[in-house]
Chain A
Amino acid sequence: MTTPSAPLTAPRTVVRRRRPRTPLTWIRGGGPANLLFLLPLLVVFGVFSWWPILRSVVMTFQRTTFVVTTWVGFDNFTALFRDPLVPTAVLNTAWFALLALIFGYPLPLVVAVLMSEVRRLRGLFSALAYLPVVVPPVVAVLLWKRFYDASPHGVFNTILGWVGIPPQPWIQSAATAMPSIVLEATWAAAGGTIIIYLAALTSVPPELYDAADMDGAGIWQKIWHVTLPQLRPVLLITFILQIIGTAQVFLEPFLLTFGGPANATLTVLQLIYRYAFGSGIGVDYGKATALSLLLAIFLALFSLVYFRLTRAWSQN
């Protein structure tokens, strides 16, 4: 992806290697200037990315309090396996991910395919679809919290009343809380996926459609046999990105329900947050990093298996 165009420069480096490398040749060769340019990267990534990533691995085997840090072996992991909230959070997160796939995965595809047939005012259509993505997530969540007002005078309940449906509890009941959260999350995210699909749709080679026309294919056949197979690579990517994103869902359940009612919307990331920063349970950085690491390892393995399984399928 970022491989430098080697052929021109390669012979020169071979010549340079034969000379002895001393600090002086390094300075003459522009070494200090090179280093100066890469310094912001080294400092910022080193301190705020690479070091914390290393540290997270170390911390899972430690107990850190404000005063002392002690090695505790696998105690953090055994504590996790004993905590009944862990399976709750894992199941809730899986439920969220599944609902997000059902609500949010086919919808942008259908809308994008329909929008690609629009010849006039395409910009308007794109802008309308993308508008919710521009709303700051916190504002969107707090706005939807108002929509989900469970009283008969709530926004959604008023609209349901017009068609004779009784008021729903929305985020107040354990059964409907998660679907309500997913609905909000889908509203907030779908526009971005639609734009990605639209970009992919414009790069479908026109010859394929022309050829399908020659063969007398109907519109639906063309969509099924030309459009969708051409979108397959991008569909595979958005799928795994959505899984990785939903596995780390935090903001929506945290602000809409705070994990309630009765932990029905407690997600893995909220549990990590509770371990590390939440009041009540107390500060337990070791347990929090251990759970983070487990989640990261799971996602890495999942992606690996996913790409293995779909490799043959993604190359048309």
Chain B
Amino acid sequence: MEPELSRAAVEDSGERTAISTSDRRRPGIRFGLGTMHLVLLILLILWGVFPLLWLLKSAVTPTQDTLQTPIAIFPHGWDWNNVVAAWTQVGIGTQFLNTIWVAVGSWAVQLIVATTAGFGIAVLRPAYAKVLNGLVLGTLFVPGVVLLVPLYLTILHPPVLDQSLINTYWAVWLPAGTSAFNVVLVTRFFNGLPREIFEAARTDGAGPFRLFWSIVLPMSRPILGVVSVFAIVTAWKDYLWPSLVLTNPAIQPLSVRLPNIQSQTDLGVFLAALAISMIIPIVLFLVFQRLFLRSAGLGGAVKG
């Protein structure tokens, strides 16, 4: 599960693959492996890094150079004005804050729903919890496309409230909470916690709220980290849904705004805006690499 094991750890762990240690000692295989690694590394750099470096370069290149000689590296110097214009004139700064706001709200709603639901289903276990759990699991089998129109109409005319949620962030935050995947992950983790601890806490007089806040949540940091990564990444990436319910440009996140400004914006400035939109996710990934990759591997494991 840990893709980042150091060399020594890999050798010690007894982890092995098709090529055995004795195979590796043979010079022909050693040479072949070395070449393969080098070729793979170069291809992966071309695949993963080249497009992003090109974007960073073009963000500070004069528009005419990007149009005429897109691969050349700064044939006529830099143009930092692209970045300034993107942030101020095009208003990417506002959209940037909107994106953060969308992500933070979605994260909070998802965390609240997933942890309280997981606690109710896995720890408190009232009789009807099984039914609820089944209904949550059921939504995993309903493709997102089914929800598009009826959910839009629900946002337009929500029950009880006498007011449309269109052009409010609640229209993005609340539907984000319906991630069955989060509930499954958290419930499964809570199920794995030792029940003796809960019983001991109950005998010591801890009520359900105390149990939830002081015992279950602190024991669940790993899974909360995974859910948080999922929540923030999904919110940052989403396009179709926010474009439907956030029609006011002043409150739109980057993903919704970028396609709309494309045609009226100078190419250099537009590419600078793209580069700015990309930076936070990339930095988050580089800092929390281990957590990201573990979540990605786990995603496969759970879906499997």
Q: Would you list which residues of chain B between 213 and 262 have a CB under 8 Å from chain A?
A: 233, 236-237, 239-240, 244, 254-256, 258-259, 262
Q: Do the beta carbons of A131 and B48 come within 8 Å of each other?
A: yes
- Tell me which of B16, B23, B298 has the highest count of chain A C-beta atoms within 10 A of its own C-beta: B16
Kindly state whether residue B299 has any CB partner on chain A within 8 Å: yes
Of all chain B residues, the one with the shortest Cβ separation from A110 is: B40
Q: Quick one: closest B residue to A55, CB to CB?
A: B150
Q: B125 and A250: CB pair below 8 A?
A: no
Contact A123 to B3, CB < 8 A, known contacts A1-B188, A40-B116, A42-B132: yes
**CB neighbours of A272 from chain B (8 A):** 145, 148-149
With A34-B124, A153-B70 as contacts: A44 and B109 at CB distance below 8 Å: yes
Are B15 and A206 in contact, with the CB atoms below 8 A? yes
Q: Does B71 reach chain A (CB closer than 8 Å)?
A: yes
Q: How far is the CB of B304 from chain A (nearest CB, A)?
A: 5
* Chain A 115-146 per-residue mask, 1 if CB under 8 angstroms from chain B, else 0: 11111101111111111111111110011101
Interface size class of A (residues with CB under 8 A): 35 or more
**Total residues of chain B contacting the partner, CB 8 A:** 122
Query: Hey, which chain B residues are within 8 Å of A234, CB to CB?
Result: 300, 304
A37 and B116: CB pair below 8 A?
yes
Interface stretch (choices A83-91, A94-102, A174-182, A289-297) = A289-297
Chain B residues within an 8 Å CB radius of A206: 14-16
With both chains docked as a complex, state the minimum distance between the C-beta of B70 and any C-beta of chain A, in angstroms: 5
A38 x B281 contact (CB < 8 A): no
Nearest neighbor of B36 in chain A, beta-carbon distance = A114
Contacts of A30 in B (CB 8 A): 124, 208
Contacts of A299 in B (CB 8 A): 143
B200 within 8 A of A: no
Q: Are A136 and B281 in contact, CB atoms less than 8 angstroms apart?
A: yes
B278 at the interface (CB under 8 A from A): yes
Distance to closest chain A CB from B264 (angstroms): 14
B154 and A34 form a contact (CB under 8 A): no
Question: Measured between alpha carbons, how far is A65 from B255 in the docked complex, in Å?
Answer: 30
Complex interface: chain A residues within 8 A of B298 (CB): 199
Task: Report if B197 contacts A (CB, 8 A).
Answer: no
Residue contacts A-B, CB under 8 angstroms, 5 given: A40-B117, A48-B175, A209-B18, A222-B19, A272-B149
Q: Which residues of B contact A (CB under 8 A)?
A: 1, 3-5, 7, 10-11, 14-20, 22-23, 29, 33, 36-37, 40-41, 44-45, 47-49, 51-52, 54-55, 58, 67-71, 109, 112-113, 116-117, 119-122, 124-127, 129, 132-133, 135-137, 139, 141-154, 158-159, 174-175, 177-178, 180, 183-184, 187-188, 191, 195, 207-209, 212, 233, 236-237, 239-240, 244, 254-256, 258-259, 262, 267, 270-271, 274, 277-278, 281-282, 284-286, 289, 292-293, 296-301, 303-304
Closest 8 CB pairs of A and B: A196-B300, A199-B297, A123-B4, A41-B117, A52-B150, A131-B48, A38-B120, A222-B18
